[in-house]
Chains A and B, each alone.
Chain A
Amino acid sequence: MNTTSLQPVIRCQTLYKIFGITSDQLQKDSQGLIDPSYRDRQGVVTAVDNVSLDVSDGELLVVMGLSGSGKSTLVRCLSRLIEPTSGSIEIEGNDLLAMSEKELIELRRNKMGMVFQNFALLPHKTVLENIAFPLQMRGMKRAEFVERAMKMIALVGLDEKENSFPRELSGGQQQRVGIARSLAVEPDIWFLDEPFSALDPLIRKEMQDEFLRLQSMLKKTIVFITHDFDEALKLADRIAIMYHGNIEQIGRPEDIVLNPATEYVAKFTSDVPREKVLTAGSVMDERKEQEALASKSVRIDDLVETIAEYVLGQSIPVPVVDAQDQIVGVLHQARMLEILFHERAGPSGS
């Protein structure tokens, strides 16, 4: 395969998914261009509207947006569970939309995994069989897949439930089966559609931590959908905000909070606790000559949340250092207070 480290694992360009009209019809009527007049037709929904994005190797992209903004549809296109109306998708440099049925099956068996929003457990199979199902499809031996599935069951904390049927489990338990099922094959590319939505806060936190631990070890390429900003901040390398099928903005969490590209993103992020997003580096000021500095420094990538108490406890500015312990800026108490208490303080720190 002609993968270079720079090439994105997932690259999609000018992707459209329009429901209620076949792409043949559309292509024929509009010579390949997406005619905006189609959107106003009755029964036509533009679920994904001109989306272009790259996800690089080992990156975790979180997709956020209101209900119905097209998140699920987007990942379904990326896994080609539904045919996009137009646009292109490349997976590791290969054209996904040109793949034959057989190649697609190979790809899904060996590379891709997905956790579904509504769990999608097979009703006639037990927990164990559900988790083992993708392994069976890969042609794994019985003893092997039973062992592997049991390991996954333990990982998501469902011991003793392996012989239950999905209908006998609670929503949260079912969701964990879904997670275990897609985890079992160790996919390189992983699509997660609100994977923790049905979990209670305690288990959710546990699963998030487990997830981070796995991700730091395995470095998968992940597209993760969530409604929970805290979760997004905790996990994301980058966040994409969707609105009516468009990606309004895509970028690092602090960029999105500090520099919202559109009105909508600004509104969407207005309630985000900034101290959880912003790092010392993104809010520091330049060091003035001969300024007296506090003795203990903070790191450039420390979250404001973790250093606020210390900074506010000082009477003089606190130095910010980079990985080489070079002082690259300072934090003033006044700026700190502004960040913490003036929610819409505006992106003056950039």
Chain B
Amino acid sequence: MRGPGHPALEATTTPFKEISLSRMKDLLLKGLPPEQRAKGALVLLAIVGVLILAKPFNLIPDFLDELPQHTYQSSINKEIQEIKRTELVPIGAALEWTFYYLRDDLHVSVVTRFFSTSLKALVDVVHNILSGGRKGFGLDAPPWSALLVIALTLGYALKGWRLSLLGGGTVCYFAIFGLWTYAMTTLAYLAVAVPISIIIGLFLGIWCYKKKSVEVSILPILSVAQTMPHFAYLIAVVVFFGIGHQTGVIATIIFAVPPMVRLTLLGLQTISPEIVEAGKMAGCTSRQLLFRVQLPSARNEIMIGINQVIMQCLAMVVIAAFIGADGLGFRLLHKLIALKLGECVEIGFAIVLLALVLDGLSKAWAEKKRDYRANLPFYRRYKYSILLVVLVAIAYILASYFPILNKIPRDLDITYAKSWDGFIDWTVVNWQTRDFRYIMLVHILTPLRDALLFMPFIAIMVLVAGVGLLLGGYYSALLTLGFLLFIALAGWWDRAMITLYMVLFSTFICIVVGIPLGLWSAMREKRARTALFWCDTFQTFPSFIYIIPAIMLFRVNDFTAIMAVVAYAMVPAVRYTVEGLKNIPPELHEAVTMAGCNKRQRLLQLQLPVALPHIMLGVNQTVMFAFSMVIIAAFVGTIDLGQSIFKALSETALGKGVTLGLCVSFMALTVDHLVVRWARERRRLLGLD
């Protein structure tokens, strides 16, 4: 027994115990404090290393090494893997049963069919107004010159002659290259999907803002929805709504709503509380408060949301071609399958132009400053509307005299696809991408993939959950573990690893190229602006478009997919780097200048550390983009989850498709959770929020 005479003994033992206990508790609750993470990471790596090294010595039991899973056929190794048992837990079957139960037994199909028929009617009407035909009201198509003057006037009224020319040029492009009807179909879908998405998004956003419980339940759904691959949606939509034009529109709406909800909510939540109070003190009812104070104050975010909705809709309308939605996307898909690359380029340009015009118009409209000086005479206040009416009338009259202004004849057959084909043939002969491709595939990509596949699955689980524990305590650890466990139990582990390797590799290239590019751009104000301009431009392109040049240069294989992913996912890496550096407060720069730093010191001591959280958010976006693109790129032939999703789509295998979609989504969310968590904490520590 320790008597009171041994205080030294007491002092050495109990506090030590207490410290380690409280430390363990802290680690569980909050993760490691930043200064101890390096140590923690080393320990973690050691554990993972041991797990990996144990495998060759047969120390890892089978069930911790590889899980029973779906079989796949490797196109690279040209070997057929042994058929193993299927999934551990029948997640896919369970989902499938639930969906069909909902549809058939609970008669959800009655509702969905109602939606689908009313939407179909709506699409038909809009389509009819834009391009004639027998459906809808049976109106005649307006002359293309009328659309031309509308585009010209709108562009001019909202921004200026540049946008005006871009809009006019795009309309002419459609007309000249024989894409008119396709473009009008695409426009008709957009005209229906965009307003509906905006209204639903606004409504949900406001609802989330008003009710915390709604926010808590909707936000995770939105996260999953935003990371779920497009094709996985399509399967569900097809099952519930059938095949047809309207199905494409529905898929588009589902896809475009989440960002609108998020941005509406963000806008409402970031209004300074004093402004709301000022509204209350003015005696607003809650309705007046919403419509006259809160929504207008959140205008910026809502406008960004609307712009995003438009761009997302365009991207999805293209992809909806896979379930038979007509329009430019359908045409593109057709030609792509036939490998008529020249024509693909021609259509691709049309889609890109449309994207640029819509983006330009919506942004200009959002930024448009209203002119408040009252008492303008009628004709000056409405000068553009009047101009528009007059011009359209003139277009109609002229079109009735000159048929060429009414409709460009089909047999004109103007195209430049042939010259592209020639160019592509030339590149195939002259640019020896084949050796390059071969080296990449055989010496870099395949070993990387095999390494990931070799790792016992328990090692990866421990690695990810450990990182979660270090960064955010038990919550992060359990969340990420849950995500991975789903993939493991669903029986798609190996495919998920193949997807992961493509994403990792693409992200790696994006970082290696994109961040230095961003750093270089941010050095000069003018360069930075140019870089941001190009980022903006590239970001408007629908994802599917990026596949065309990749196929042109590298034909069809894993490497092509990766190149398309890299091209698409590079943008956020560059953009966030530039923004992160530009947003450093000028006083900090002045302070560093006064301390006598040279350029290199400035970069290493100030710019990189302060901008790092933002750059990491960019990397996170890159990963998210990569996950979404990798699935689309599966179209050019990979053997990852994407390919399985495609197969599921063609078989309308609902349960399987959704399970696969969730797998992709959960992988993306794992990365997202960890990176965003770290970046937020870092920003807070730096006092940047």
Q: Which residues of A contact B (CB under 8 A)?
A: 76, 79, 81, 101, 105-106, 108-110, 112-114, 116-126, 128-129, 133-134, 137-138, 163, 181-182
Nearest residue (CB) in A for B285 is A105
With known contacts A126-B372, A163-B372, A163-B373, A120–B275 Cβ distance under 8 A: yes
Is B281 touching A123 in the complex (CB atoms < 8 A)? Answer: no
Is A116 touching B283 in the complex (CB atoms < 8 A)? Answer: no
Is B281 touching A113 in the complex (CB atoms < 8 A)? Answer: yes
Stretch at the interface among B61-69, B292-300, B336-344, B612-620: B292-300
Nearest residue (CB) in B for A164 is B372
Nearest residue (CB) in A for B292 is A133
Q: Which residues of B contact A (CB under 8 A)?
A: 272, 274-275, 277-286, 288, 292-293, 296-297, 299, 372-373
- Chain B residues with CB below 8 A from A181, complex form: 278, 282
Nearest residue (CB) in A for B286 is A101
Give chain B nearest CB distance to A95 CB in angstroms: 19
- Chain B residues with CB below 8 A from A108, complex form: 280-283
Nearest residue (CB) in B for A182 is B281
Is A81 touching B283 in the complex (CB atoms < 8 A)? Answer: no
Is A116 touching B372 in the complex (CB atoms < 8 A)? Answer: no
With known contacts A105-B285, A118-B272, A163-B373, A81–B277 Cβ distance under 8 A: yes
Give the one of A108, A117, A128, A137 with max B CB within 10 A. A137
Is A122 touching B275 in the complex (CB atoms < 8 A)? Answer: yes
A128-B373 Cα distance, complex, nearest whole Å: 11
Give chain A nearest CB distance to B365 CB in angstroms: 15
A137-B277 Cα distance, complex, nearest whole Å: 14
A255-B292 Cα distance, complex, nearest whole Å: 47
Is A122 touching B281 in the complex (CB atoms < 8 A)? Answer: no
Is A124 touching B296 in the complex (CB atoms < 8 A)? Answer: yes
A79-B281 Cα distance, complex, nearest whole Å: 8
Is A81 touching B280 in the complex (CB atoms < 8 A)? Answer: yes
Give the one of A108, A113, A122 with max B CB within 10 A. A122
Partner pick for A116 among B277, B296, B299, B373, CB 8 A cutoff: B277
Give chain B nearest CB distance to A47 CB in angstroms: 14
- Chain A residues with CB below 8 A from B280, complex form: 81, 108
Give chain A nearest CB distance to B306 CB in angstroms: 16
Nearest residue (CB) in A for B288 is A137
Query: Can you add 10 more A-B contacts, CB < 8 Å, to A81-B280, A109-B282?
Result: A105-B284, A110-B283, A112-B281, A114-B278, A120-B274, A120-B277, A121-B275, A124-B296, A133-B292, A138-B283
Is A81 touching B281 in the complex (CB atoms < 8 A)? Answer: yes
Give chain A nearest CB distance to B280 CB in angstroms: 6
Give chain B nearest CB distance to A343 CB in angstroms: 38
- Chain A residues with CB below 8 A from B275, complex form: 120-123
7 contacts between A and B (CB under 8 A): A105-B285, A108-B282, A114-B277, A114-B281, A122-B279, A137-B283, A137-B288
- Chain A residues with CB below 8 A from B299, complex form: 123-124
Is B274 touching A109 in the complex (CB atoms < 8 A)? Answer: no
A119-B274 Cα distance, complex, nearest whole Å: 8
- Chain A residues with CB below 8 A from B277, complex form: 76, 81, 114, 116, 120
Give chain B nearest CB distance to A161 CB in angstroms: 12
A119-B281 Cα distance, complex, nearest whole Å: 13
A128-B283 Cα distance, complex, nearest whole Å: 18
A108-B296 Cα distance, complex, nearest whole Å: 22
Give chain A nearest CB distance to B285 CB in angstroms: 6
A49-B134 Cα distance, complex, nearest whole Å: 75
Give chain B nearest CB distance to A277 CB in angstroms: 33
With known contacts A116-B277, A137-B288, A106–B283 Cβ distance under 8 A: yes
A123-B369 Cα distance, complex, nearest whole Å: 13
Give chain B nearest CB distance to A77 CB in angstroms: 12
A105-B282 Cα distance, complex, nearest whole Å: 8
Is A134 touching B283 in the complex (CB atoms < 8 A)? Answer: yes
- Chain B residues with CB below 8 A from A138, complex form: 283
- Chain B residues with CB below 8 A from A79, complex form: 281
Is B373 touching A133 in the complex (CB atoms < 8 A)? Answer: no
- Chain A residues with CB below 8 A from B288, complex form: 137
Nearest residue (CB) in B for A135 is B282
Chain A to chain B: the 4 pairs with minimum beta-carbon distance, closest first: A109-B283, A120-B274, A134-B282, A120-B278
- Chain B residues with CB below 8 A from A122, complex form: 275, 278-279, 293, 296-297
Is B278 touching A116 in the complex (CB atoms < 8 A)? Answer: yes
With known contacts A124-B296, A124-B297, A137-B288, A118–B274 Cβ distance under 8 A: yes
- Chain B residues with CB below 8 A from A109, complex form: 282-283
With known contacts A79-B281, A137-B282, A137-B288, A117–B274 Cβ distance under 8 A: yes
Give chain A nearest CB distance to B485 CB in angstroms: 34
A330-B283 Cα distance, complex, nearest whole Å: 54
Is B281 touching A133 in the complex (CB atoms < 8 A)? Answer: no
Give chain B nearest CB distance to A216 CB in angstroms: 25
Is A120 touching B372 in the complex (CB atoms < 8 A)? Answer: no
Nearest residue (CB) in A for B297 is A123
Partner pick for B282 among A118, A123, A126, A133, CB 8 A cutoff: A133
Give chain B nearest CB distance to A174 CB in angstroms: 12
A114-B278 Cα distance, complex, nearest whole Å: 8
- Chain A residues with CB below 8 A from B278, complex form: 114, 116, 120-122, 181
- Chain B residues with CB below 8 A from A129, complex form: 372
